[in-house]
Structure 1
Amino acid sequence: MDTAKLLLRSRRANQRLHSLIPGGAHTYAKGDDQFPEGMAPVISHGNGAHVWDVDGNEYIEYGSGLRAVSLGHAHPRVVEAVRRELVRGSNFVRPSILEIEAAERFLATIPTAEMVKFAKNGSDVTTAAVRLARAATGRTKVAVCGDHPFFSTDDWFIGTTPMSAGIPAPLTVKFPYGDLEATEKLLQGGDIACVILEAATQFEPAPGYLAKLRDLVHSYGALLVFDEMITGFRWADAGAQGLYDVQPDLSTFGKALGNGFAVSALAGRREIMEQGGLRDSRERVFLLSTTHGAESHSLAAAMAVMETYVEEGTIARLHELGSRLAAGVRAAAAGMGVEEHVQVRGRASNLVFMTLDEHGNPSPQYRTLFLRQLIAGGIIGPSFVVSSALSDEDIDRTIDVVGQACVVYRKALDAGDPTAWMGGRAVKPVFRQFA
């Protein structure tokens, strides 16, 4: 791809984005600073696993919608479910019957949960879980897994990141994933309302870890919260809690639940959830009360997603595609002798790639080089997270492009400097103190 000729409209569109929207995107992870300089396409539309930019270039897309689009764009069943509701109105003065149907469908899918409340984004429901845990325990501090990158845009979490400007010191502490001894030391300090983590990320939990963590947390009177934004509807139909057979007190879902439509969920044990309801004698919790939380079009989309997962065997398909892609990428890297530098990690349904320098350290410079080669080859995405819409031909094409990228990677390693292949400044971390 000759980006000087083929991304002119995208470059102009990026300039307009920055003049109108702080950061040039409504999600920092979609910012053009996450892509090589001059190679941040602005998307026109998508279908299945493919997207087209405003310049007319077509790409195979990975990590769609920050891992939210697991069935592919404009999935027919989801589109039809939403279309049926469009002419029936939305957002009434009383609950829609869809709220019952969606809740029943969700709780049948996630049998470890007893009640559910829907919202629009992940931050709302993780913050609601924290608020509910504080009310239920009478404590204030939150323990978050320091090995996991993101839980909420709200103060209790963002205050722990380098982007803490404008936020008072949060009542939040961190614990390392898999380390029960270190977690217990935090719990011994007292005042911990809840422990929140992703049940798994790039690596599988050690056998028994999650169950032992639950028992440890409960022994100190705190609650266990699973953030299933990513693991939900990717690890298994019933999420990581279903796969690993561990019931948290509260859990949060989103992303793939709506296949791109805005819907999230707070789920949990009835005795805890009811404190945010109207049938409990305890002091009331202002749990989730949002104008658009149960908007019917997104609930219809969520129900269609859950039905599709069961009837089309989506989880198995995601794992099949991811396994094939991971094997191909590893073989391509090994073929150029860069297997120690270009690595694929994670569960097959949630693959990320690592770009390591000559010393084996994560390198934004080599990531820039690698992303540049992928985009030039018609592959776009911050990860290799698959959607079920990918075809075998898409996977083969991706492996071919990765192979070409590894040729350039090898040249840069041999030269001891990737600068000549970066095309400009390096990509940047999302969480940084200054722009």
Structure 2
Amino acid sequence: MEPVSDDDAGTRRFTRSNALQARLHEVIPGGAHTYARGADQYPELMAPVLVRGKGCRVWDADGNSYVEYGMGLRSVTLGHGFAPVLEAVHRAIADGVSFSRPTELELLAAQDFLSLVPGADMVKFAKNGSDATTAAVRLARAATGRTAIAVCDQPFFSVDDWFIGTTAMNSGIPAESAASTVRFRYNDLPSLAAVLDSGAIAAVVLEAATALAEPEPGFLEGVRALCDRHGALLVFDEMITGFRWSAGGAQAVYGVRPDLSCWGKAMGNGFPLSALAGKREVMELGGLRTEHNRVFLLSTTHGPESGSLAAFRAVVHEYRTSDPIDRMERAGRRLADGVNAIAADLGIAEHLQVLGRPSCLIFATRDHHGHPSQEFRTLFLQELLHRGVLGQSFVTSAAHTDDDIDQTIAACRDAAATYRKAIEQGSVEGLLVGRPVAPAIRRTAAPRRIGQGHG
């Protein structure tokens, strides 16, 4: 196990991280390239700026080390700096990265993908998940001649107007761009049927499962049947479920084949890669073998760059020859059992709880009234940071060892003791330093707005 800093057992210093974060705000809107990575998602003046990682460990600019969870917003399942992936990338990029024609590597990577995903005949690679989901929407509209999109009541599908226009952060998006996007409820077939009855729906878009929600018996089969009955395309968002539920995604676990599926995150163990996959008759609308008007499907300069495709092939090999999902689920079960036992021993099990699929855990933080609380969440994050644990969740990777889990459970034991004090006194006053975290997608910069020239 890597050595940790002298501050791991107590209060840490974030002097250099805070200086770097202030500078980040000067040159990057929001101070980060992803809203979920923003400083407003962490305790105030305690947002580590990272410099390196190895396995499930990361180090910040002040020399502090952490056991990391979330692992690159769930994009890293094998661990940071995983040698077989890095070696494959090095070999590939030594021969060039981007060319004016397809490479054999593109064919091999596509074949690897299609061998894993039972619900796909063709695949096209890109660089981020939103490219794939928006391409699926465009393809469904062309295939059906309709414009409306039905999305499940799940948090996030795309940065593009058709989805972001439905959120609180819709400034700059014409109202008509989101007007044709409608919602239905997960595990509620009547709510989907009511939406489809309009006859205007081109696609039904959903995550087949989430960290906290498994499909009820017959639900996904019912969604498939409703789409067929009403002539809408079924689109699975496999950004999180792919390579975390199984290498073949949720469709392989639950046995329901979508018309299209959208992939990203863990495909390259952190290297940037996404994919749109689906049935041949639909995907060919973006190709050269169609008699219909062509769809501008995906056309990206960097989609087929050799480094990420080589990383993907190495990830596929690792999933075929070992069982990383079993390792991350084992670590998750051990962590959830340990932390939940601590909360029960302290009498705060109804207030602090680890929940979810073992490979995709979250922690629920509730106040003294039992209500979800950003203040209490921030207090828990603060105490974990001081004890060498970094993460907005407890999402594990195959790199999390028993020692890493033991360190995390020990940190949670101390953090939970402070949490209980807050429950007993009915507030976080005197325990939490600074303002609480805020939702990443919100209408205004408040309640974590910063002044000009301040971090």
- TM-score by length of structure 1 reads 0.98
How many Å separate the matches in 1 of 2:88 and 2:43? 38
Q: Secondary structure at the match of 1:399?
A: helix
How many Å separate the matches in 2 of 1:156 and 1:359? 37
Choose the corresponding residue for 1:116, options 110, 114, 123: 123
Q: Secondary structure at the match of 1:421?
A: coil
Partner of 2:140: 133
1:190-244 superposed Cα distances (whole Å, 9 cap, x missing partner): 2100010100011211011101111112111101100000000000121110000
Choose the corresponding residue for 2:365, options 349, 355, 358: 355
Choose the corresponding residue for 1:312, options 322, 325, 330: 322
Q: Report the Cα offset of residue 362 of structure 1.
A: 1.0
**Equivalent residues in 2 for 1:289-308, closer than 5 Å:** 289-308=299-318
Partner of 1:211: 221
Q: Is 1:249 aligned to 2:259, yes or no? A: yes
Q: Secondary structure at the match of 2:354?
A: strand
How many Å separate the matches in 1 of 2:130 and 2:370? 34
How many Å separate the matches in 2 of 1:404 and 1:76? 34
Q: Is 1:160 aligned to 2:166, yes or no? A: yes
How many Å separate the matches in 2 of 1:253 and 1:359? 39
Q: Is 1:196 aligned to 2:205, yes or no? A: yes
Partner of 2:35: 28
Partner of 1:93: 100
Q: Secondary structure at the match of 1:432?
A: coil
1:114-160 superposed Cα distances (whole Å, 9 cap, x missing partner): 100000000000000000000000000111111x1111000000001
Q: Structure 2 regions of 5+ residues with no counterpart? A: 1-6, 446-455
Q: Which amino acid aligns with 1:161?
A: T
Partner of 1:234: 244
Q: Which amino acid aligns with 2:364?
A: M
Partner of 2:3: none
Aligned residues: 434
Partner of 1:183: 192
Q: Is 1:267 aligned to 2:277, yes or no? A: yes
**Equivalent residues in 2 for 1:316-327, closer than 5 Å:** 316-327=326-337
How many Å separate the matches in 2 of 1:39 and 1:337? 28
Q: Which amino acid aligns with 2:159?
A: T
Q: Report the Cα offset of residue 434 of structure 1.
A: 0.4
How many Å separate the matches in 1 of 2:204 and 2:431? 44
**Equivalent residues in 2 for 1:384-395, closer than 5 Å:** 384-395=394-405
Partner of 1:172: 181
Q: Is 1:377 aligned to 2:387, yes or no? A: yes
1:234-267 superposed Cα distances (whole Å, 9 cap, x missing partner): 0012111000001000001110111110000100
How many Å separate the matches in 1 of 2:247 and 2:73? 19
Partner of 2:45: 38
Q: Secondary structure at the match of 1:151?
A: coil
Choose the corresponding residue for 1:51, options 58, 67, 79: 58
Partner of 1:151: 157
Q: Is 1:7 aligned to 2:17, yes or no? A: no
Q: Secondary structure at the match of 2:316?
A: helix
Q: Secondary structure at the match of 2:430?
A: helix
Conservation of the 8 A alpha-carbon contact between 2:224 and 2:234: yes
- TM-score by length of structure 2 reads 0.94
How many Å separate the matches in 1 of 2:155 and 2:350? 24
Q: Secondary structure at the match of 1:26?
A: coil
Q: Is 1:399 aligned to 2:409, yes or no? A: yes
Q: Which amino acid aligns with 1:190?
A: G
Conservation of the 8 A alpha-carbon contact between 1:43 and 1:54: yes
Conservation of the 8 A alpha-carbon contact between 1:365 and 1:419: no
Q: Report the Cα offset of residue 4 of structure 1.
A: 7.9
How many Å separate the matches in 2 of 1:253 and 1:5? 38
Q: Is 1:342 aligned to 2:348, yes or no? A: no
1:330-359 superposed Cα distances (whole Å, 9 cap, x missing partner): 111111111111111211100011101122
Q: Which amino acid aligns with 2:131?
A: D
Q: Secondary structure at the match of 1:73?
A: coil
Q: Which amino acid aligns with 2:346?
A: M
How many Å separate the matches in 1 of 2:125 and 2:141? 20
How many Å separate the matches in 1 of 2:386 and 2:42? 12
Q: Report the Cα offset of residue 279 of structure 1.
A: 0.5
